[in-house]
Chain A
Amino acid sequence: MTDLAHLKPDHMVSIRTLFGIDSDLMVPAFRERDDHVPDRDDAYRFNSDVTLAILAGFTRNRRVMVQGLHGTGKSTHIEQVAARLNWPCVRVNLDGHISRLDLVGKDTIVLRDEKQITEFQEGIVPWALQRPLALIFDEYDAGRPDVMFVIQRILERDGKFTLLDQNRVIHPHPYFRLFATSNTVGLGNLNGMYHGTQALNHAQIDRWNIVASLNYLPAAEEVAIVQARVPALANEAGQKLAASMVAVAELTRKGFAAGDLSCLMSPRTVITWAENCEIFPDTALAFRLSFLNKCDEAERSLVAEYFQRCFGQELTESHQNALQDIV
């Protein structure tokens, strides 16, 4: 870990070969794989716009925020780009209880020469700032706005970081990069789906150079992702099944947008459902266990309608069955 500071991107790679994106852009990459480099997932499918935004962050030292609904793979997207560039990467999950001390550092008691002394221990921000690292703040909008001002300075390019307790000014490493992911665009919990998110200070949002939005993908791409994740579906019958699954998910998303449902199926849910199909032979049962049971009881009959459209099969909650019971 000590020699991490001396790592440098030592060659340029073409994004055409690395990510399959039609562009002549070359990006810096590391030859050596450090422990901090995330594991590479060959099944991962890149969204070209978001990939370009993230790559701009890596090559041109821009601060990139990726916004999107849950389960769209925002954090994974950044990690997978880093994995292909061999760029070391650290993820920090922000929550309401991350305090300034956690980020900046604090005095701790350590044993030295059998004596207890207090020593300043750097927090994650100064530590990462001095290394060629990509620091990812996950759930950026869950962090408390007052605490988030700690990173105000380093959001500027070449922004120096002052450790007040130490009277020390830290210069960022030239290959330090900063990313963030969030569910909202910093306007707080508007649709009632993301409790605990905060309205962010606009001066802070303004400092992010690039805000990429990763929303749900076109159906064909999503089907391909599901198939890549669940190899058992990589045949013609599987293709059909996956397409119908994605169609259900799309109906739930549109139903959510229209205010009919209070939860929706993320790509992650679809993948879980596909995986559960391997465990439970019955698609309907797998659906119930992966999504339906998460829904409000009053909304299940509507989800049953969605399911009927895409699979031509009735669930127990279906209105059709309720009618038959009466007759």
Chain B
Amino acid sequence: MSIPQGKTRQQQKGDDLCAAIMRALSGEADIHYRGQRLYQGLRQLQVHAPHLQTDPAHDDFSSFRGTADSIALRLLHTDPVLHRQLCPADPVERLVFELLEQLRVETMAPDTMPGMTQNLRHRFAAWSHAFHQSGLTESSSGILLYTVFQICWSRLIGQPVLERTEGLIESTRAAIAPILGKDLLGIRRNCRDQSVYAQHARAIAAMVGEMIRSDGDAQDDNQKTNAKEDVKSAFRLLLQFDSDETDTMTVAATGQSKVLEDAEHGYAIFSTQYDRQADAGSLVRKALLREYRERIDQRIVELGINIPRLARALMKLLALPQRDGWSFGEEEGYLDGRRLTQLITSPAERRLFRLEQYKPDADCLISFLVDCSGSMKTHAESITILIDVLVRALEQAGVGSEVLGFTTGAWNGGRAQRDWMRTGSPANPGRLNELFHMVFKNAQQTWRRARPDITALLKADLYREGIDGEAVEWACKRLQLRNEKRRILVVISDGCPMDSATNLANDEFYLANHLKQVVARQELRGEVEICGLGVGLDLSTYYSRSLATDLPHSLNNGLLLEIAQLIGARRR
């Protein structure tokens, strides 16, 4: 496993655990991470307190734990409406106020959870240390803020300030302690009462703000700008630790799409005239398919993948015991009428009864939707192996499966784009390309029958551009026509939706935002569960259930079992 891959996976695992602990602590079931940002339902949760801005590159897991605990306490104990009302407008004051409110809820960690208290303290100490290390305490406003934070923290938790910086803050502390004395006592005493506490916190924030402002005024103009720079750079660190290192996997990029938001009827399609759907097997010569098949079979053998074990794992995740017929010839249970004669003919024979049988039965259909955009070409082989193995394992577990692919009929818009030019290129035409949806294996086919067709995934000419939103809608529609009780769609993709003609004619994130809308709508309807399997990319921006993989390097039993977990997990 390559290092960045391992790191991202660990990070994702850590995020999942942190989100889960927040759900358990706060009782809010819809908290989750998307693209390393915290969401409650569809709304992003804002975390303003400076010491809760974590950075995967530098912070250890205990820090993440502390942050998660602190956010959970905040959800439990802060009235957000009251907080917004009382929050001061000045950025410096607001920063102090946010931090003080966060420290207030941290004092309310239950006594029964000593581990949580440990985590919270660890996080604050680690953040203080980073603050100090970054050299921010060298400026006068930096040391002032730092000292205030340290004193308030030490007052609230009733512990001495951090030993390492005790000497550093000594003189500042002596100067401001008498001014803040009354309010420090106030916050200490009123931890349980948000509104009274906020009065004192506001007073402290106002004093700090005043001191920083007067500090700036006292100096001449040149230095004044310097002081302002100081404060600004302090905020950069306080509000966000920018990470320059890119040794984790990238998160799928995203942004606002003004065209899509402003459109009256939502997502638009310029022309559906050229959209096609085809059986993939018919697009490739039979002889070539046979050749591909041999290659894939050879590779699967080389990889040494344990398909029965994967099948058992999937079975365990997807199947439920169902009443299924009778087992006859039992020694107890219901009398089996057909064996009554046997009672007369051989009275010693006791196996006259029948019992109800419960068999694990997976009433489930899984559809794989493969992004056949140009960049996926390089991953074609590993994707084909992955899908072939999964389909085979699912079949052994008695679960139906479908393999679909989406691409476009042409590069750069094809005929749809030419038609658009011909009509005089009206603004914001919507999707501008020929859709091309492929069926590699439908739900009725068995793996044995679809064997050659699946390998059509290897045919490089099929890979063009990708319009994910409509493809997900199409796949969901196919699933909704099925009778299976549980329907799961697995989208395998290595990037955001990409179609150059559409992006040029509308805006950059038009297709990406449509994909988000489609997934959110389907998740809300709840008929189809959707999960994203990112190839070298973290897809959590789009899909609430996702797994990032680094496919060519790590195609092994471990990864397959993790994918099985992703498919089978029942969440939200």
Contact residues of A with B, CB < 8 Å? 96-97, 99, 192, 195-196, 219, 240, 243-244, 246-247, 251-252, 254-255, 257-260, 262, 298, 301-302, 305-313, 319-320, 322-323, 326
Contact = CB atoms under 8 A, between A and B. Distances in A.
B237 interface: no
A319 B114 CA distance: 19
Given A259-B29, A308-B65, A298 B565 contact: yes
A308 B117 CA distance: 11
Contact of B111 (A97, A192, A243, A326): A243
B29 A258 contact: yes
Shortest 3 CB-CB contacts between residues of A and residues of B: A312-B115, A247-B112, A258-B29
Contacts of B570: 192, 259, 262
Nearest to B30: A258
Contacts of B21: 251, 302, 305-306, 309
B522 interface: no
Query: On chain B, which size bracket covers the interface?
Result: 35 or more
B23 A305 contact: no
B4 interface: no
Given A258-B29, A320-B62, A310 B112 contact: yes
Nearest to A296: B316
Contacts of B118: 312
Nearest to A311: B115
Contacts of B111: 243
A251 B17 contact: no
A251 B21 CA distance: 8
19 contacts: A192-B570, A195-B320, A243-B112, A244-B114, A251-B24, A254-B24, A255-B24, A258-B20, A258-B23, A259-B570, A260-B20, A260-B571, A305-B65, A308-B119, A309-B113, A309-B119, A310-B115, A313-B115, A323-B14
A16 B63 CA distance: 51
Of B23, B111, B117, most buried by chain A (CB within 10 Å of CB) is: B23
Contacts of A257: 27, 29
Interface of B is mostly: helix
Contacts of B337: none
A309 B69 contact: yes
A184 B217 CA distance: 70
Interface string B208-252: 000000000000000000000000000000000000000000000
Given A255-B20, A298-B569, 9 more contacts: A192-B570, A254-B27, A258-B27, A258-B29, A259-B570, A259-B571, A308-B65, A310-B116, A311-B114
B448 to A, nearest CB: 31
A254 B14 contact: no
A313 B113 CA distance: 11
Interface in B4-34: 6, 10, 13-14, 17, 20-21, 23-25, 27-29
Of A99, A298, A308, A322, most buried by chain B (CB within 10 Å of CB) is: A308
B166 interface: no
Interface in B293-339: 320-321, 333-334
Contacts of B115: 307-313
B255 interface: no
Interface of B: 6, 10, 13-14, 17, 20-21, 23-25, 27-29, 61-62, 65, 69, 110-119, 320-321, 333-334, 356, 358, 565, 569-572
Contacts of A247: 110, 112-113
B40 to A, nearest CB: 12
Nearest to A144: B356
Of B23, B112, B333, B334, most buried by chain A (CB within 10 Å of CB) is: B112
A312 B333 CA distance: 51
Contacts of B20: 255, 258, 260, 302, 305
A257 B29 CA distance: 7
Contacts of B110: 247
Given A259-B572, A320-B62, A310 B24 contact: no
B485 to A, nearest CB: 12
Nearest to A262: B570
Given A254-B27, A305-B65, A312 B14 contact: no
Contacts of A255: 20, 23-24
Contacts of B6: 326
B414 to A, nearest CB: 44
Of A252, A258, A320, most buried by chain B (CB within 10 Å of CB) is: A258
A260 B111 CA distance: 24
Contacts of B10: 319, 322-323, 326
A303 to B, nearest CB: 10
Contact of B320 (A192, A302, A311, A319): A192
A258 B24 contact: yes
Nearest to A308: B115
Contacts of A219: 112
B423 to A, nearest CB: 50
A255 B27 CA distance: 8
A262 B565 CA distance: 14
